[in-house]
Structure 1
Amino acid sequence: MTSATARPRTPDPSVPPRLIATDLDGTLLRDDKSVSERTIAALAAAETAGIEVFFVTGRPARWMNVVADHVHGHGLAICANGAAVVDLHGGPGAHRFTKVRGLAAPNALEVVELLRAAAPGTSFAVDRTGGVHHEPEYPPLRMDPAGSVAPAEKLLMADAACAEEPILKLLAHHPEMAPDAFLALAREAAGGRAEITRSSPTALLEISAPGVTKAGTLALCCAERGISPDEVVAFGDMPNDVEMLSWAGVSYAMGNAHPDVIAAASGRTVANNEDGVAVVIERILADRLSVEAG
């Protein structure tokens, strides 16, 4: 499902929420990448009230330390746009993968060839469970030094040094194209061979295996818990959140959200820097107390 076709579900006010699914960057986190005290308190209060909280992010597991102290109960997070489920209880550097939905190297190679032809100047990175590897032209990552630097075709070879590590995402960067134009072009060029989305303000695309999205992996985690979509409240701000917001029974676009996200969500809250997730959680808990009080 692409952002062009996703539509919000109609909320059922008679169904109380059992799970909160929230994106991180631009959503739960403030722009300085911090979690506010108000948000920390709201997350803890939700868990105390019996509402599970899942962090559902495009981030790799190795970037999850920012919220590792704020997981409760199950301790699980959905990372890499649904390509991995990670247990954060191990602490920094000890996160354990409990589910991996990887991108096959032949699929990744085919997408590389198609995007090189459709958008000359595109450079690539390969994000694996053990780290990121990228081409010489790819913008260096401040938070994530490359494990190796080589052409994508070499990084994806069966005999590459990192080949035994599953591929979570292929990343594609273009130095000149507008982000949404690059996304539309890539989706057309790939023709369904992969899931392509974006969460960066730059022309940086995130490419996963066919069928792998935040929504798909969240649905699997919810099914394991006997939780229906109607019992989920979701939050997001960028195109990689669209499917999840459309799937959840109740969903909120942040005040700073991309237009496609606003169209896909059933509601809207204030911006991430104004603690928009906490504002809604507080309201949910207040409504629950009101109902219980009769």
Structure 2
Amino acid sequence: MEGKSALFRTFAGLNSIPIVLDTTDPDEIVETIIRLRPSFGAVNLEDISAPRCFEIERRLIEALDCPVMHDDQHGTAIVVLAALKGAARHLDRDVAGLRVVISGAGAAGVACAKILRAAGVADIVVLDSKGIIAADRPDLNEFKTDLATWSNPRNLHGGAAEALDGADVFVGVSAGTVAESAVATMADDAVIFAMSNPDPEIHPDVAAEHAAIIATGRSDFPNQINNVLAFPGVFAGALDAGARRITEGMKLAAAEAILAVVGDDLAADYIVPSALDPRVAPAVAQAVADAARTEGVIA
């Protein structure tokens, strides 16, 4: 978290303080942050596992009159959407028509599914450690049950092999591995975002045998999907506008701004800017502030 504080300062000119809580109890976390609120203009939640992270974020958004965002969820989701829009544009595809498979139903996976849905993607299949999330699975918690009501429109069952058959996009946020035989059944001109770090779900060299565009969470391969492209600018824009909260529209605007920085340089190995590109945070901040004003969430 000290590193993220440095990134906030470097890219967005924001001062932040890493506060570590010696508890995993949602009630204690929420109460502590509410009591600390008068000292801070915004709250960036970090390293809270699912499903507790969903409840904690929801309760804090309801309780506080300032921007709150769990970066592990929404920072990842924003950059994934920007990257997918870049990939689709390069391949001359419509994002809404893509079949997307997300491996991982934790904080990042659920947030990615939600933002892709908000961006118009209709066919999203999510995998957890037990396989495809489907409405008739009896072992789902309340958050996965909700996910099952609007994902998996073809009612698929099974595991990665069944999910990836004919899929256009793979988004890996699971720390698991995916067999090459399953990846080989994806559609032509497939897109693979193998984001587990340091070991991608499928190694880029292997993925290149089956995909047109590949992204990872690593800096030593092209197309690094890194949250630093999102969170400094999102918070700077929200604070500049005096926003009371961070909305879905503000997140979508952030994704568009990230992609806009790429501009005419868009290529298979350049669908998102470098994580260190100094143009990104100001562009994201402006887009987020404009969206906040448009949506009327300013104080």
The structure with more helix, counted as a fraction of residues: 2
Using the size of structure 2 for normalisation, the TM-score is 0.36
